[in-house]
Structure 1
Amino acid sequence: MTIEQLRERTRSGHRRATFVGMSGRASRPGRIVRVYSSSVEFRFDDGEQSRVHPSDLRS
């Protein structure tokens, strides 16, 4: 997803996403906390929070 797509999703209330990582094989659900200019603050369902690249997320 692009930064603009993520911003639009969070504006409309859709914050759930899945982190797939660089390989596209991981599958860790969570929610978008905040969208920055080049990264996304993401809270995984297990409580871990991290900044991730927007292309590593799927809706």
Structure 2
Amino acid sequence: MPGPNGVQSIGASEDQTRPLIAETRENGIVRLLPNTDWKTVDQDGSAPVYPG
């Protein structure tokens, strides 16, 4: 799976329908939904985490 450049941290859910999320130095928070490319998250955030 191709990844974004400069990944600092990553978050994943046990639910495979939820996106994989990562924090990058260049693009901030990005997400990867199944069968798509990485996309920048438009909302402010401080870290790629799922509750729990």
Structure (1/2) with the larger helix percentage: 1
Give TM-score scaled by structure 2 length.
Answer: 0.36
Structure richer in strand, relative to its length:
1
Normalization by structure 1: what TM-score?
A: 0.34
